[in-house]
A and B are shown apart, each in its own frame.
Chain A
């Protein structure tokens, strides 16, 4: 091993910078998708709030872009130090991908700044506005291509071609998990972007002094959450597709993920997703109360929450409390105490879990239908929402960011003790799978760091500027 990292070790070091880079990258790739849609909606409907939403979010993206680049560079530094052998291997194996990645980063950066700085000049005419939207679409195309290029590298590390020595470049790019990753990460980025926009709106709502600002940020938080939840309900399916491809690629991954060392990670994933759905539905409950006459739907919604909680319990209850296949019951504890009683063993099966997820998704959909129904008969009083709703919009991104960090760890750990699964061994001192406890602490630190950085972006971009105004 060429180098280690002082105090925290090479793995934690690369984990920190890679995950922070990925968080910011997910936001700067995901947010522009609905920024452009929002700009287009503003043009089509004439509602100025869409334009403001698009522009303010883009301002956050422009500042966050620098942080993405900074953590990208730090990521590269750590790769070049402790992880030099695998970095060299990946560069050699996928050299054209890296060249294209560099070129697309340059193009995307040019396009991003062009999009941001031409906002006012191109806003003067309808043709100019369409040109601006066109630049935004180009920005998204380039961003999606960048995402796909990096997914090729990530996918290659997880599921390289079986006969790697004679594999063509295309076979390495179009590996078994490439398309599932593209789908999963694209939807994940939209979800993430939506929730970060909601976080921004909550932050701005709570710091706003004008009522019209609060009305706007209330609306913006609602839209951000709607986008986040809309994409979130597709995520379990995208996750199943990715898992299925991994299982088909190498069936021992199924055991490793669902019954062995990563099983606890998936219990925690279930808990996090349930919390996301509960948060999203609770927000809708609070939103309903700012609609005139919305309170009449409260009994229906309470029934929905009952189903959500029951589904959540079924999803999260572990089939057993053994952390891996080789674990034994601790001294003084019987094995039976750590396993679901036979009568309830069905709750540990995927069938029960899948049914629970389906029920949760359907109930969330019903919540939105109820909201639509309430909106059709009563006026929404934007800005007159319980401030607790803003804290829910802070809670949801906290859970979403944590979940994304944890899922990143899961994806990485499915390689077991390989850098490139089955081909390049991890010969660093950190070849082993980290415990859930260790991962939960590292992900918590990363999540908090990301929050501090994002709060800094909001503050420097909006609060500080407001004082000057």
Chain B
């Protein structure tokens, strides 16, 4: 980490910590390139991009345009700093401490500006104590593990909001899957319906929440049912035990507020 050529500058006078401090005119000459770049970039971002034809696929929303603007201005400022030239060292202890604090506060303040003002926030639930947790039996617990196993990846498409399982949004939220299964096929038990919907998912299609339908539909109606997304062949990949446990778990899902009623 050291070098034979290292020179401790013990003899240098105090003001010679670096090259001479440039004048403001000299500074402007050094930094005008990045400043012009930033102005041009902002012009392109706000004056050009929004007017390009939509078919070109380069229409960005306002949050992205703001992001690119911040990035362009930030990059220009960074390049300005590179060529800014030496600054003076504070002469008093108070000025030194104040300058250090300023750098610190501005840095941390920038982070707050990003996290608090710029980035969108999700809803915060009303703070209150949660109620007792519904107990799962052993089979249901095993079924939950099956649901969360990457090999089967049920969660990749399904959320179970009532259990705090934040999976994908392609399939329906299964918070009330057990309750809904009782009415999906007249004359068929919830357990049998759930089994069929897993091992032979395209036999009967679950209705979309806003369709007004309760029963599953044998014929595919894209406007009223979920599309053909459920992967077939689960019975080949799951053991009978795993399938049974998964059905037990799904059957136990009785509604959105079943767990603690406070989910947002």
Contacts and interface: CB of A to CB of B under 8 A. Distances in A.
Interface of A: 1, 9, 41, 45, 47, 49, 162, 202-203, 206-207, 209, 211-212, 214-216, 219, 223, 226, 247-248, 250-252, 255-256, 260-261, 264, 267-268, 271-272, 278, 282, 285, 289-290, 302, 305, 309, 312-313, 316-318, 321-327, 333-334, 336-344, 375-376, 378-388, 391, 394-395, 398-399, 402, 416-417, 425-441, 443-444, 447-448, 451, 455, 463
A196 to B, nearest CB: 13
B159 interface: yes
7 closest residue pairs by CB, A with B: A337-B61, A440-B115, A343-B57, A323-B122, A437-B116, A379-B5, A429-B127
Contacts of B62: 333, 337
A335 B200 CA distance: 34
A252 B148 contact: yes
B167 to A, nearest CB: 6
Contacts of B115: 264, 268, 436-437, 439-441
B19 to A, nearest CB: 7
A417 B130 contact: yes
A398 B150 contact: no
A435 B108 contact: no
Contact of B8 (A207, A216, A255, A323): A216
26 contacts: A47-B2, A211-B14, A215-B8, A251-B156, A316-B71, A325-B169, A326-B264, A333-B62, A337-B61, A337-B64, A338-B63, A340-B64, A341-B58, A344-B57, A375-B5, A379-B7, A380-B6, A381-B9, A384-B12, A391-B103, A398-B103, A427-B130, A433-B122, A440-B116, A441-B112, A463-B93
Interface centre among A252, A340, A388, A429 (most CB of B within 10 A): A252
B148 A251 contact: yes
Nearest to A334: B61
Contact of B119 (A41, A256, A267, A333): A267
Contacts of A316: 67, 71
A459 to B, nearest CB: 9
B116 A211 contact: no
A42 B11 CA distance: 24
Interface of B: 1-3, 5-14, 16-19, 56-64, 67-68, 71, 74-75, 78-79, 81-82, 84-90, 93, 96-97, 99-101, 103-105, 107-109, 111-112, 114-117, 119-125, 127-130, 133, 145, 148-150, 153, 155-156, 159, 161, 164-169, 264
Contacts of B82: 282, 285, 302, 305
A20 to B, nearest CB: 15
B108 A382 contact: no
B105 to A, nearest CB: 7
Contact of A207 (B11, B71, B84, B96): B96
B175 to A, nearest CB: 12
A261 B19 CA distance: 49
A444 B89 CA distance: 27
A430 B103 CA distance: 33
B129 A428 contact: yes
B5 A394 contact: no
A262 B116 CA distance: 14
Contact of B84 (A376, A388, A434): A388
Contacts of B103: 391, 394-395, 398
Contact of A305 (B19, B64, B78, B159): B78
Contacts of A425: 130, 133
Contact of B107 (A215, A318, A395): A395
A325 B13 CA distance: 61
A268 B78 contact: no
B98 to A, nearest CB: 11
Nearest to A202: B100
Contacts of A399: 107, 111
Contacts of A398: 103-104, 107-108
Nearest to A295: B19
B122 A206 contact: no
B120 to A, nearest CB: 5
A388 B86 contact: yes
A388 B87 contact: yes
A324 B122 CA distance: 6
A355 to B, nearest CB: 18
Q: Taking each of B18, B60, B62, which has the highest tally of chain A beta carbons within 10 Å of its own beta carbon?
A: B18
A209 B61 CA distance: 53
Contacts of A436: 115-116, 119, 121
Nearest to A345: B57
A388 B90 CA distance: 11
